[in-house]
Chain A
Amino acid sequence: MAFEIKSPGLATTVQDQGRKGHYNVGIPQSGSMDQYSAELGNALVGNSAAEAVLECTYLGPVLVTDQDAVIAITGAPVEVKVNGEPAAQWARLRLNAGDELSFGVIRGGTRYYIAVQGGIDVPKVLGSRSTYSLGALGGFKGRKLEAGDRIPVGTPLNGGALPGVDTVPDEFRPVFAKEQTVRIVLGLYDHRLTEEGLDNLLTGEWKVTPVADRMGLRYSGPGVKWKEREQPFGAGSDPSNIVDAGYAVGSIQIPGGTQPIILHRDAVSGGGYAMVATVISADMDLVARAAPATTTRFMAISQGEALLARKELAQRTNDAWAVLGATR
């Protein structure tokens, strides 16, 4: 079984839970930018959480299924169309062989997901089906989809059994707002900012610029100031430069002190910019939902609070699977 891509959309890629364990040799984890939304798509169609989905960015694809299929569209709000007729989001849909899936204009957020029973069945590379386009690794031929591609769909799990509930209740759907508060843990290099610079970061209003993709999101705002220092050997001349170091997933750097960049799932693993803070893992999905012009505030929390937030998100995800009667 396969999906035939009539029109690929802006940047549609195969993604799963990510390719973990290779960041130390420069291979980012990749994976669905909004893991929660992608997972609940899998839950609706009777997949495990690990199955691969199609991630659509702003402009979705037009595709035709060559066999009957069970699918679900989750993530950013968008009009879903089957053979041109409106269909529900966050709900299980049945496609007949030859049916065409397409999308209207996205109404908020950035990415939506197409989950299909059996999962997108591309070969695993280093343990994951996720596409890392920049490295031409994984996914469908290491790249975003193109017109004419035939995307293989796998065999349903558990003999095709589906969970009892076919719609994600409202309280378990994420909010795609024009304003966000993103929780961060300060460090490793926040001490390089002046007091005023740190204050700007934590109390200022920042806006997502159109320069935002799977590698990172750039924000405009009040800017920050770095302490002057004599740059150490090996560091660049700007005070935002350090001697090259590894970057944590979710690191925030502020080249030149003007526009903070949050490094996301396809980011490079190291470089010479000081990381002033790291977005907590529980808020990485939230950041992934931010469309250009989203107003953002950064709130510093402790590492203990960050771990608690991670626990709460895991619990919420478990609860959502349980509400659907699905097995994670």
Chain B
Amino acid sequence: MATIVSPLPGIFYRKPGPGKEPFANEGDTIEVGQTLGIVEIMKQFTEIQSDVAGVLESFAVSDGDMVNPGDAIIVIREGQS
């Protein structure tokens, strides 16, 4: 299992905007560099990207939650689906 952490504090969002589809869902196949969510701080949106390939196992935080630097956001089961 690989854990994707937030490199910065802010509000975590799973969608690129209101009414849009989430970047990714549980069970999705994830590629290296794929955007899985965004963190908003200082009116800027920073993309959270996967540094591994695998299957999205779970989200450790919910849409709209506050995260701190180093907090686990997403767990990915590494390898092919």
In contact, B8 and A106 (Cβ under 8 angstroms): yes
Binds A, one of B21-29, B38-46, B50-58: B38-46
Q: Indicate if A36 sits at the interface (CB-CB under 8 A).
A: no
In contact, B70 and A210 (Cβ under 8 angstroms): no
Report A213 CB to chain B, min CB distance, Å: 5
Closest residue of chain B to A60, judged by CB? B7
Question: Could you tell me the distance between the alpha carbons of A328 and B5 in the complex, rounded to whole angstroms?
Answer: 40
In contact, A292 and B44 (Cβ under 8 angstroms): no
In contact, B68 and A11 (Cβ under 8 angstroms): no
Q: Indicate if A202 sits at the interface (CB-CB under 8 A).
A: no
* Binary per-residue interface labels of chain A (208-238) against chain B in the complex, 1 for a CB within 8 Å, 0 otherwise: 0010110000000000000000000000000
* CB-contacts of B1-18 with A (<8 A): 5, 7-11
Q: Which residues of A contact B42 (CB under 8 A)?
A: 10-11, 57, 212-213
Q: Number of B interface residues, CB 8 Å?
A: 16
In contact, A105 and B5 (Cβ under 8 angstroms): yes
Q: Which residues of B contact A292 (CB under 8 A)?
A: 9-10, 41, 66, 68
Report A293 CB to chain B, min CB distance, Å: 7
The answer to whether residues A59 and B70 also contact, given A10-B44, A213-B42 and a CB cut-off of 8 A, is no
In contact, B11 and A210 (Cβ under 8 angstroms): yes
Q: Indicate if A291 sits at the interface (CB-CB under 8 A).
A: yes
Q: Number of A interface residues, CB 8 Å?
A: 14
Q: Indicate if B19 sits at the interface (CB-CB under 8 A).
A: no
* Binary per-residue interface labels of chain A (50-63) against chain B in the complex, 1 for a CB within 8 Å, 0 otherwise: 00000001110000
* Binary per-residue interface labels of chain A (136-154) against chain B in the complex, 1 for a CB within 8 Å, 0 otherwise: 0000000000000000000
Q: How many A-B residue pairs have CB under 8 A?
A: 45
- 19 sampled A-B residue pairs with Cβ under 8 A: A10-B8, A10-B41, A10-B42, A10-B44, A10-B46, A11-B42, A58-B8, A58-B9, A58-B41, A59-B8, A105-B7, A105-B69, A106-B7, A106-B69, A210-B10, A212-B42, A291-B9, A291-B69, A293-B68
The answer to whether residues A107 and B70 also contact, given A210-B9, A291-B9 and a CB cut-off of 8 A, is yes
Report B57 CB to chain A, min CB distance, Å: 21
Q: Which residues of B contact A291 (CB under 8 A)?
A: 9, 68-69
Contact of B70 among A10, A11, A105, A213 (CB under 8 A): A105
Q: Which residues of A contact B (CB under 8 A)?
A: 10-11, 57-59, 105-107, 210, 212-213, 291-293
Q: Which residues of B contact A (CB under 8 A)?
A: 5, 7-11, 40-44, 46, 66, 68-70
Q: Which residues of A contact B10 (CB under 8 A)?
A: 210, 292
Question: Could you tell me the distance between the alpha carbons of A11 and B40 in the complex, rounded to whole angstroms?
Answer: 13
**Given A10-B46, A210-B40, A292-B66, 13 other A-B residues pairs in contact with their CB atoms under 8 A:** A10-B42, A11-B42, A58-B41, A59-B7, A59-B8, A105-B70, A210-B10, A212-B42, A213-B42, A213-B43, A291-B68, A291-B69, A292-B10
Closest residue of chain B to A106, judged by CB? B69
Question: Could you tell me the distance between the alpha carbons of A59 and B69 in the complex, rounded to whole angstroms?
Answer: 10
Question: Could you tell me the distance between the alpha carbons of A57 and B9 in the complex, rounded to whole angstroms?
Answer: 11
Question: Could you tell me the distance between the alpha carbons of A58 and B42 in the complex, rounded to whole angstroms?
Answer: 11
In contact, A59 and B46 (Cβ under 8 angstroms): yes
Closest residue of chain A to B7, judged by CB? A105
Q: Which residues of A contact B46 (CB under 8 A)?
A: 10, 59
Q: Which residues of B contact A57 (CB under 8 A)?
A: 42
Question: Could you tell me the distance between the alpha carbons of A105 and B7 in the complex, rounded to whole angstroms?
Answer: 5
Q: Which residues of A contact B40 (CB under 8 A)?
A: 210
Report B66 CB to chain A, min CB distance, Å: 7
Question: Could you tell me the distance between the alpha carbons of A57 and B41 in the complex, rounded to whole angstroms?
Answer: 10
The listed residue with most B CB atoms (<10 A of its CB), out of A57, A58, A106, A107, is: A58
Q: 10 nearest interchain CB pairs?
A: A58-B8, A292-B9, A213-B42, A106-B69, A105-B7, A105-B69, A105-B70, A210-B10, A59-B8, A210-B41
